[in-house]
Structure 1
Amino acid sequence: MVLNTFGDEDVNGARAEIRFGLAEGEAEKQIPRRMEWGDEWLAPDKLQHVLACLLIALAAAALAGRSSRPFLRRHALPLGCAASLAVGAAKEVADEARLFGSSGASLRDAAADLLGVALAAALVSLVARLRRRRRREKARDADGTDGSISMV
């Protein structure tokens, strides 16, 4: 058995130590990590987080937009984004609780979730803008005018 020492310096510069009577290499397994700091920014799971939150936000916004309730239709995009962020946060809480065999919650996963929600909001806004433009053009064509002023 080896006594392992782990410690951090506190504010006054004194070294606080924790000693474990464990075999070498076992102490690292016993200390729970609070957040996953060794997580890579371009890991494959980041793409999964972006796509999952993007799709959840789009699906929730589409469902809210088709609701019979005017409030839900008016606020479909914010509700979709909130639903997606709630699912992402719940996933990180579950990761921290080790429910999925993960090594812990990750701020980078949360950032990827935010990116997915932002992409969904941008995509929905772009589609709405294009639809409004198309409606105006159709209305202008139906009037028989091209939008210019005639001098005759």
Structure 2
Amino acid sequence: MSRYVDCHKRKQEKKLEFVRQYDEKYMELAFTVARGSEQSPRPLCLVCDQVLSNNAMKPSKLARHFHSKHGNLKGKPVKFFERLLIDMNNQKKQLKNMKTSEKSLLRGSYLISPQIAKTRKPYTIGEKLVKACILSAAEDFGR
């Protein structure tokens, strides 16, 4: 029994040691490397945004995913998938910019709310008076 356990552990250790690396040819199948997976690179499908395990970094498994889920894109050139990668990166940058502007708006809201509470007026005054004042001030700064 103990030999079986030892042998089984050795097999698992061997499996854990082997890490597959990304090859540029995988771009033909619409796969790139997922961000944050430099130690153990994982394939990211550019079409459906699905991240697969490192064990799936085999051409046969990537091809199976591509042909079974995205068979309509079979004859597309590599430039098409490179454009998808560029578009995905641009989309992430835009989302990051939106998040920072939302944080600024939320911070401004938190600064205004206590001031409204101190006047003991209903919070609807913020929609009428404060919003109008902030919009006019923002327009003035924009000039």
Regarding TM over 0.5, the answer is no
More helix by share: 2
TM-score, normalized by length of structure 1?
Answer: 0.28
Larger relative contact order (Cα-Cα within 8 Å, sequence gap ≥ 6): 1
More strand by share: 1
